[in-house]
């Protein structure tokens, strides 16, 4: 079996802390799940139309349960996972600066 690495794969490997990623994945196996009905505080969840399919599908499949438990859901058009994180980080920075 051969593994072919393209330039973007090599760049990703060079710029990624593999030990931290492996540790995170190992830790995730011990995380307990949370049922929607367990959430007792205000919550808003957002995703992107082009987000990781499993994430978006899970949110949309549970939309009625989220609404029933007063959890807001917003799916932004034409945004993928990286864009969502970039925008939310910028928004948090803007909010922090505005509050100072």
In a domain, 21, yes or no: yes
Tokens of 69: 């438990």
8 Å CB contact between 87 and 79: yes
Is residue 90 domain-resident? Answer: yes
| 2 occurs within a structural domain | no
Q: 28-82: per-residue pLDDT in tens?
A: 888 888 888 898 888 888 888 888 788 888 888 999 999 999 998 888 888 887 7
Does 64 reside within a domain?
yes
Distance CA 43, CA 69 (A): 10
Question: Does residue 15 sit within a domain?
Answer: yes
Structural domain boundaries enclosing 86 = 7-99
Domain tally, the chain: 1
pTM: 0.54
Is residue 1 domain-resident? no
The 10s digit of each residue's pLDDT in 8-24 is: 777 877 888 889 989 98
User: Quick check: is 78 in a domain?
Assistant: yes
Report the C-alpha gap between 14 and 8 in whole angstroms: 10
């Amino acid at each position: 079996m051969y593994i072919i690495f393209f330039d973007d794969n090599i760049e990703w490997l060079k710029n990624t802390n593999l030990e931290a990623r492996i540790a995170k994945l190992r830790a995730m196996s011990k995380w307990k799940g949370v049922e929607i009905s367990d959430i007792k505080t205000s919550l808003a969840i957002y995703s992107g139309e082009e987000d990781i399919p499993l994430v978006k599908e899970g949110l949309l499949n549970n939309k009625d349960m989220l609404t029933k438990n007063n959890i807001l859901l917003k799916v932004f058009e034409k945004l993928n996972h990286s864009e969502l994180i970039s925008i939310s980080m910028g928004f948090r920075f803007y909010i922090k600066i505005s509050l100072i």
